[in-house]
Every structure is written in structure tokens, then in C-alpha cells.
Amino acid sequence: MAEIELRHIDKHFGPVHVIRDVNLTVKDREFVVFLGPSGCGKTTTLRAIAGLEEIDSGDILLDGKPIQNLSAADRDIAFVFQNYALYPHFTVYENLAFPLRAVGTSKDEVDRTVRSVGKSLGIGHMLNARPSSLSGGDMQRVAIGRALVRRPKALLLDEPIGSLDAKLRETMRVELKRLHFENGSTSIYVTHDQVEAMSLADRIVVMNEGVLQQVGTPTEVYLYPANLFVAQFIGSPIMNISATRISEADGTARIALDSASFELPRELLGMLQQKKAGTDLSLGVRPEGVLLSHDSRAGYQPAEAHIIQPFGSFDIVDLKLGEKTLRARTASGFVTKAGTQVWARIDPSQAHFFDTKSGASLDIRLARDEERSRDVPTPITRQNVEL
Amino acid sequence: MAVVSTRSGRLGNRIAIAVVIVVTLIFLSPIYWITTTAFKPLVQATSVPPSVLFEPQITPFVKLFTKRAQLTAPVAPEVYEAAPWWERLVLDGGERLARDGKGDVVFSAYPDRFINSLIIAITSTILAVSMGTITAYGFSRFRVKGEADLLFFILSTRMLPPIVVAIPMFLMYRAVGLNDTHVGLIILYTAFNVSFAVWLMKGFMDEIPKEYEEAALVDGYTRMQAFFKIVLPEAATGIAATAVFCFITAWNEYAFALILTNRRAQTAPPFIPSQIGTGLQDWTVIAAGTVLFLIPVAIFTFLLRNHLLRGMSFGAIRK
């Protein structure tokens, strides 16, 4: 049972403002992932919660009690380091026993706990080994075991699987999810890898330059990015973003992308007016929101396929629209040759509009394209996305 | 390609081994020379060309530990018969052992000087290494105001030849009554070594990832506990290397020991050459004193050899 609350956290490193007025509540048993590029302040925030970094101002509360003035040892929060930091002069057993000995646990109790944690993590047979003789995955298991052995109030993980190879990362990801499922300890996990974030998190906290950009479930963050940064940081291949102009013609809204102009439902104009959107408008659409056709159809614009990247289960096709390119996601093998003439349109329900200057989303949702409604999954409705 | 690189690798190995052997022989030759001299009869020790084959004897060591006087007349046969074997060795060389009023053999000052050397070198090494380790930890882990300047200041104490300050040191020591005391030399050698220890230990401390201590901190330990339980064992290699260097410096120091001590606290280095002047120049005794003087350093270095050789990259940290 542990709830972590951050209130107005600020932190400078010399002249650099690394954490800017961060407010966040991590609920009991929740798995929250801090996601952002390197240097965005996510690790510093995590270290501040652990007590390894002092904050300039603000409150860190654990179960409602301020802990920002307690030493790391007294916070009862465990931390898993990116480089594991297993004590090299100790065996695995001693590494696991170390946190228990700090609180004067009896010898029998230590032995029982170490063996049971070792067993649950599948490292029971290597308790007498030295950390240096272990593989990366096993070091990681020991590091997590050392964090869990004392049953801490919260578990903080700083890119714990970042230095493993891709295959092992996938295995460990599943294992981490299982562990959280079994232990249910409140966890904060830092990563710059959006796949990790999406697959592990109950909620994702996107950070950039010390500022929380968006807090939400993986689906919310993916489907309703709060600003241009989140829109471009989440999702791979990244979202198409382009400055654009909207005009009215033939009873529809037309949106200009270089030489092409795509047709969108007329209600967009009203919505823009209602939001008092200026002229600096950016359109964002994920590759799967660009619909392709082999032949000319109503509302489709001609475009030339340029670079085709096969990903196995799908292809990413770069379309040339004058000077600009538009990435589209297609069924694999839909376009086979560069230079092929195709027709494209933008799915209105997957179009995002941003204020170019502030970067903020205008929060405009258009109805789905009737014509394609059978193929497109129902979008999840937006519910209290915290900002 | 692989074959070629293997072959050249092997050749490189052989060259390296050959170079190591040659260099080792060059470095060991003085030790060979002094050791053989310590076991030679005086005539053979000074013969030109040097004698390679000789009958080893321990007379120089007996002489080293005793006070002797020239025989003025041949010793009486019954006295020679009554003397123990080691005394006969000295009598054979035309000297007799000095005896006190009770008839006991009078020892030379060498054992005392040797013990002085041990006390002073060991104590100053412990002090310099522990102070150096703690200081280096502070510089390595905390943001110290003016860190670069302070480190430079610490290093600057080694920037002029120490002998330059020998006379001022002598005057100051005399003024405060530190001359010819163990404490005086211990302070001097500690001060001399601590700058070196700080710099060497800082290098080793910087190599120890700070995550180890941070892990100990979140595991429920204080920084002090983390330092003793985690940092010190990790720094053992560095501490051993630093201790060897500090010990050798303090053990070998000659100039200040010569100037600042004369009897009570005199160490072995100024004592050994002082034996040249008494009576005839008995090089075998000097050699015997030098050989014994080499042994503690050799043992100390030998005991710590694993630490000296072991690399720093033995940890369980992924970089």
C-alpha cells in the first residue's frame, strides 16, 4: 500500500532547470512509466523520489507523508539501477541479503526470504555465484530481487533493461509485467523506449525538458497526444506533421499539403472557429491514418510512392506530394515498386490539429470516414486525460 | 586473414616475452650483486675482476649484528676453542666481538635502526593511505568548492625537490623538539606521501561507480556504512597499490632521516652507509645490511601482488 505524490517539484543543476514544477500522483499498485528523450529530467525525478537527489522545492509524499527530507535509507523505496550496481565483492546470496541485514533481520528470516525471492526470480541455483559471472539477464534478475527482497513501499526502476539485447529485453519485459502482477508494488519505471513504455505502463508520463507533457494510459497518449512533442515522440514510424492551411470549397473543408489538397468534413471549419485557432495550424496524421487506393476514387488525391519499407506485417510507404512526403501504412506488398502512382486520403478520425506556435493540440475530433467505417476500429473515447 | 593475425600475434608475444626477460635481468642484476656480496668473504667481495664462484658464508651477517674490535694479538687457542662457531667466524677475520661487563655480546645498532624503519614506515603508510583514501573519496563523490585548486595545492607540495626544504625543516624540528623522534619522521613521511595518496586514490575512487553506494543507500544503509561495507572493499586494489608506493617511499627515504635523526629514531638507510667509516671498509657488512633491508619491501609487495595485478574492471557494472 503506497501512493506517491509529487507536488510542485523543482530542481536545478547549476543554471539548468532540470525539473520544472512537476505534479503527479502515482496510485497504489500502479505501474507508471516516465518516458522521454535523454536529458528530459525523468531519471532525475526518479532519483529525487528515491532520495538520491535533492530537490530545490516542492513536496514528495509517500502515503501522504512528506519524505523529501528523509535520507534514502529511511524512505523504504527500492531502486533498480540501469547498470544493476550489484556489489561485485558479494555473492548473489549476499547481494540479496544486504538490504535485509540493514534492518537487522534475523539470520533465519534472511535465509528464508533470500531463497524464496531467488526461487521466484529463477536465480535460486546461482546464489553462490559472483555477479561478474552472470549473464546480463541474470544480473538484472538479481538486481530486481535485491529491490523486492525487503518488500519496499515502492519500486523505482531506471532503464533496467536498457542494456540488454533486443531479444532478452522482450523476455524481461514480460517477466517484469508478471512480477508487477504478482507483487503489485507501486512502481515507477524510467525509459526512453516507447515500446517498453506502451507495453508495461498502466499510465505513461511523457516528459521533455523537465516538464510533464502528458499523463495518460498508453492508448490515450497514443490516440490523443496533447501536443506536437508527444505526437512525434510516441508512435513508430512517427506521425506525419505538417504546417497547413484550411480552406472551404465545394461544401467541404480542404486541407493543403504542398501541391495536394485533401478533403475533410465541413464541420472542421466550425470547430476551428470555435477553438479560435489562428492561422498557424499543423496537421498530424499517423501513417495508419493515411488511406491508400490503387485507383482514383472520390476524395482521394494522386500521389507517387517513393520509398517502401517492408516491416513484415505491414509496409511503410513514403508518398511524394511535391516537396513534402507523407508516410502511409499499408498492408504488406500493397505497393511493390517505387514510382507507382497511388491515390491517398486522410482518415478524418485520425487527423490531429495542433497550434504550431504553442504546439498544443486543438483537441479537435472529427467523425470517422463513413466510407471506411467497416475497416477502421472504433476509436477509444477520451476520458479524463490528465494534463 | 585470421591465420596471419594469429601468427603476428604469436610473434608479438615472443618479442614481448624476450623484452620482459631482458628488462627483468637488468633490474635484478644489482640485487644479485648485493646479495652475493653479502655472502662473500671480504677478499673476494673486493677482488678485481669480481669472483663469480665463492664459498658462501654468513660472517657479514654476524658482523652486522655485533660490535667488534680489531684483534691486537693472536687469540689464545683455548679461547678460540671455547668460542661458539659464529664468534670463530669473526675471530678468523682478525676481529673480536665486544663484550659488556657481564661478558655478553654487545649488539650493534642495526636491529634498533631496522625496527625504527619498520615503525616509522608502517605508521606513516597507514596514516597517509587512510587520510588519502578519505580525502579522495570526498573529492570523488561530492561537489567540493574549488576542487581543482585544492587538488592542485595538494599536488604542489610535491613540486619541488624535498631536499630544498631540508634545512628549514631541520631548524623547525629542532625548535619544536621533533628532531630525532619517531613522531617527527612519521609526520614528515605522512605529509610527504599524503598528496601522492590523494591523487592515486582519487583515480581509483573515480573508477568505482557511484551506483554501488547509491544502491547501499537505498538498501537502507548510511553513507558511512556504505563507505565501509561497499566502497572500501571495492577500493582494496587501489589501497594496496597506494600502500605499496607509500611504504617504499617511507622505507627508502634517506636524506631527511640523515638530517633529522642521529640515534633514537634513526632509520636503517642512514645507518647502513655509516658503517663504511668504522675500521676498514667492509663492503660485505654493508651488503648484508642492505639485503636484510630489502626483505620487508619484498614481502609486502609480494603479499599484495594480486591486488597490484588485478585490473579494476572486475565489477558487475555494465558500461
- Of the three residues A215, A232, A249, the one that is the final residue of a domain is A232
With b meaning 16 or more CB within 10 Å and e meaning fewer, what string describes B135-172? bbbebbbeeeeeeeeebeebeeeeeeeeeeeeeebeee
Looking at the fold, whether A187 and A322 belong to one and the same domain comes out as: no
**Predicted confidence (pLDDT) at residue A387 exceeds the cutoff of 50:** no
List the domain range (segments joined by +) for residue A26: 4-232
List of E strands, chain B:
68-70, 95-97
With contacts defined as CB-CB under 8 Å, which chain B residues touch A130? 316
**Predicted confidence (pLDDT) at residue A45 exceeds the cutoff of 90:** yes
| Peptide bond between residue A265 and the one before it cis (omega within 30 degrees of 0) | no
What CA–CA distance (Å, rounded) separates A218 from A201?
A: 7
Classify strands A240-249 and A252-257 as parallel, antiparallel or unpaired: antiparallel
- Of the three residues A191, A210, A232, the one that is the final residue of a domain is A232
Looking at the fold, whether A224 and A263 belong to one and the same domain comes out as: no
Q: Which residue has the higher pLDDT, B123 or B272?
A: B123
Looking at the fold, whether A226 and A245 belong to one and the same domain comes out as: no
Looking at the fold, whether A171 and A300 belong to one and the same domain comes out as: no
What CA–CA distance (Å, rounded) separates B191 from B157?
A: 9
Residue A375 lies in a domain: no
Average pLDDT over residues B25-41: 93
**Residue B79, pLDDT score:** 83
Looking at the fold, whether A49 and A140 belong to one and the same domain comes out as: yes
Residue A387 lies in a domain: no
C-alpha cell at B228: 565501509
**Predicted confidence (pLDDT) at residue B28 exceeds the cutoff of 60:** yes
Packed helices A92-102 and A107-120: angle between N→C axes, nearest 10 degrees = 130
CB contact under 8 A, B317 and A102: no
Looking at the fold, whether A180 and A252 belong to one and the same domain comes out as: no
Among A177-191, A330-344, B272-286, which is the least confidently predicted range?
A: B272-286
**Predicted confidence (pLDDT) at residue A35 exceeds the cutoff of 90:** yes
Distance from the Cα of residue B10 to its chain's centroid: 37
With contacts defined as CB-CB under 8 Å, which chain B residues touch A77? 218
- pLDDT, averaged across chain A: 88
Residue A383 lies in a domain: no
**Predicted confidence (pLDDT) at residue A377 exceeds the cutoff of 80:** no
User: Where residue A158 sits, what CATH number does that domain have?
Assistant: 3.40.50.300
A372 band by pLDDT with thresholds 50, 70 and 90? very low
- pLDDT, averaged across chain B: 87
C-alpha cell at A11: 530542481
Half-sphere exposure of B74 (CA within 13 A, CB side): 3
pLDDT tens per residue, range A173-206: 888 888 888 888 899 999 999 889 999 999 999 9
**CA neighbor of B123 nearest in space, from B204, B181, B38, B199:** B181
Inter-chain contacts counted by CB atoms under 8 A, chains A and B: 81
B239 band by pLDDT with thresholds 50, 70 and 90? very high
**Residue A1, pLDDT score:** 60
Average pLDDT over residues A243-271: 84
**Residue B279, pLDDT score:** 61
CB contact under 8 A, A79 and B319: no
Return the percentage of chain B with pLDDT > 90, whole number: 54
Packed helices B110-141 and B236-252: angle between N→C axes, nearest 10 degrees = 140
**Predicted confidence (pLDDT) at residue B1 exceeds the cutoff of 80:** no
Query: Which residue reads 619491501 in cell numbers?
Result: B297
Query: Which residue reads 523506449 in cell numbers?
Result: A193
User: Where residue A287 sits, what CATH number does that domain have?
Assistant: 2.40.50.140
CB contact under 8 A, B217 and A85: no
**Residue A46, pLDDT score:** 95
Looking at the fold, whether A227 and A253 belong to one and the same domain comes out as: no
**Residue B150, pLDDT score:** 93
Looking at the fold, whether A250 and A183 belong to one and the same domain comes out as: no
**CA neighbor of B315 nearest in space, from B239, B242, B234:** B234
**Residue B74, pLDDT score:** 81
Looking at the fold, whether A293 and A248 belong to one and the same domain comes out as: yes
What are the Cα distances from residue B33, in Å, to B28, B40, B141, B287? 9, 11, 48, 9
CB contact under 8 A, A89 and B234: yes
CB-nearest to A77 from B218, B314, B315 is B218
- Of the three residues A176, A203, A232, the one that is the final residue of a domain is A232
**Residue A370, pLDDT score:** 54
| Domain total of chain A | 2
Looking at the fold, whether A152 and A18 belong to one and the same domain comes out as: yes
**Predicted confidence (pLDDT) at residue A375 exceeds the cutoff of 70:** no
What CA–CA distance (Å, rounded) separates A324 from A341?
A: 16
Residue A344 lies in a domain: yes
With b meaning 16 or more CB within 10 Å and e meaning fewer, what string describes B70-105? eeeeeeeeeeeeebeebbbbbbebebbbeeeeeeeb
Looking at the fold, whether A196 and A83 belong to one and the same domain comes out as: yes
Q: Please, what sign has the CA dihedral across residues A34, A38, A42, A48?
A: positive
Looking at the fold, whether A130 and A227 belong to one and the same domain comes out as: yes
**Predicted confidence (pLDDT) at residue B192 exceeds the cutoff of 80:** yes
